Amino acid sequence: MTGVHHLVHDPIARAVIESAADAIVAVDGKHRVTVWNPAAERMFGWTAQEMIGRVPPIVPDELKAEHNAVQERLMTRRDGDGGQISIATRRFHRDGRLIDVRIDTSLLKDPSGTPLGWVGVYHPVDDDEIVQHHMTERARLVRRLNDIVADLNAELDLAVVLDRITAALIELTGADAGGFVRIEGERLRLVSMSGLPERMRGTSAELRPSLVGELLRSGKTIKLATGDRKLGDLIWSELEGLHTIAIGLSFVKDRPFGALYALFSGRKVGHTELELLELLAGHAGVAVGNAVAYAEVVRQRAHERAVIDASADGIAVLDHDLVVRQWNPAAHAITGIPPDDAIGRPLPFEMPALGENLTYQLESGTWLNVLTAEIEETGELVLDFRDVSEAKALEEAKDLFLATTSHELRTPITVVRGFASTLVNRWDELPDADRRAAVATIAERAQSLARLVEHLLLGSRAGRDELAVNVETFDLRRVVEGVVDGFRSLSEQHRVELEIDPRLPLAQGDPMATDIVLGQLMENAFKYSPDGGTVRVCARTDGPSIEVTVEDEGVGIPPGDHERVFERFVQGEAGDRRRFGGIGLGLYIVKRLTEAQHGAVSAHPASHGTGTRMRLVLRKAR
């Protein structure tokens, strides 16, 4: 009677246990066997000698929670010493197969009531009970599968979905390890796994010679490979004791996306496990498809967001309630309104009708060109707007140019036409002095027209960056003296003073362009000092540069306009200076010619009293 532990002292009790038709197994508080009768030997295949003192290896991993729950419940019950729990379940035989049993488990106590362990009486289950058990188990698995599928379909992160699929595979089939391989062209890559070393994640193998390749060529969706053939597919052979591999294909949009691997090294595989694997692989395809579609939407949205953010145009997206939902960086830069002040609020400017352009000026003075379009799929509105302030200013400048040019041309042309008509119609009647005066006036007005046309041509070339200069070493002294000498005799009201540093070095630049620049500065000095006065010209060394200043005692430049006077046509808006005529191109040409030879020009108030001091800076010759 080696199957009865020494704790069973009563000979009659021993005889009853030894001769019982049902398997009787008792364990102590540490779950070690104290009783293992002959019926237990016959039922499970292990002898009492092998089991006494050991934790019996008969409980499948997936049923250990159930087994522990029964024992714990018995420890906490208060229904007396005769309490027991009866369950229908499965246990391992020594050869690895699962057997269906009904177990009546009771708490084992000593005479004082102190728990010693548990005793279980194992009854073989008849066919009806086996069928009922299988149906119950199948119903449980189906319910669990439904829960798992619902959980999978609620998750949209592909990596998380794949990990949950692998975990569910282990739970449902009782596999010792598992993984999901993704089909990538002609290769397989392990993207999720459970029960395998982490270093295996991401490893790959060729598709064609693999088990997945064989399954694809067979036209089936599930495959079982056993130990009678090589199981080194991918790197699964690292699982110790591997004897069976079950594979189920997962499809996304009717195309094979990957495969589920269930690896068995301890237990055997039946039809139930294969069916569950096939069902899970099919549901996995749906869950993966959802995750892939979501990832594509996220990727597309990220791409769209990147395009919107990188756009030089301002872009705003409005929902059905015309509330701003997106406001890109360019929109912030153009309007000065940050995203926090725009998103969640109505559009901060007027919106045109669909398909129409609207030019709109913000309170800041910025001009916008706005276009609205609709996203048909979502009903959202997209507004594209750009800053057209420069174009608007150019348009206004062109209008001003045309008006100013017409005005400037009208007077000399009217004078020329009047005097020419007088000479033609009254030549014989006019004294010789009057005829000469008329011809002189025509010549003077023709010269004015020539200067005007020259300014127009130079201004046009300057605007297209086509002003050609030839930078070289030249004698700035001679250029300054030549310009000043040419202006001394032009007006009896003006006195020209010239001061040149006797040690003035040679300059680096274009002598012809410098002559034009200084001539325009002198012309302006005369023009904007109509009451006469002194025009002082000074040329001296200023560090690494040479400075030439032209200072008058005229009307001066309004505060704030000292930089604007170098812009095209700005003279037409320059207050009192407008009464002196001109089209506002002279100083624009001066600035462009100076910069073309790497110099600088600027306007300042006169050193004493009213007037303007223009400062030209050129580089010294090396």
pLDDT, tens only, 107-116: 988 888 888 8
Instruction: Point out the least confidently predicted range of 37-46, 284-293, 478-487.
Output: 284-293
pLDDT score recorded for residue 200 = 86
pLDDT score recorded for residue 120 = 92
Residue 498 CB coordination number (10 Å): 15
Q: Tell me how far apart the alpha carbons of residues 442 and 547 are, in angstroms, rounded to a whole number.
A: 39
pLDDT tens-digit series, residues 437-471: 778 777 766 765 665 566 555 545 545 555 567 88
Across 231-253, average pLDDT: 74
Across 518-527, average pLDDT: 87
Q: Which of the pair, 147 or 290, is modelled with greater confidence? A: 290
Q: Which of the pair, 85 or 155, is modelled with greater confidence? A: 85
Q: Which range, 172-176, 207-211, 587-591, 610-614, has the best average confidence (pLDDT)? A: 610-614
Rounded to the nearest angstrom, the gap between the alpha carbon of residue 207 and the centroid of all alpha carbons in its chain is 35
pLDDT score recorded for residue 537 = 95
**Do 92 and 59 meet the contact criterion of CB atoms below 8 Å apart?**
yes
Q: Which range, 215-229, 410-424, 562-576, has the best average confidence (pLDDT)? A: 215-229
Please determine, for residue 399, whether its predicted confidence score (pLDDT) is greater than 60: no
Task: Output the six-digit token pair for 505.
Answer: 């070095």
- Those residues whose C-beta lies under 8 Å from the C-beta of residue 81, and which sit 6 or more positions away, are 107, 109, 113
Decide: residue 152, CB within 10 A, 0-12 exposed, 13-18 middle, 19+ buried: buried
What is residue 307's three-state secondary structure? helix
pLDDT score recorded for residue 576 = 46
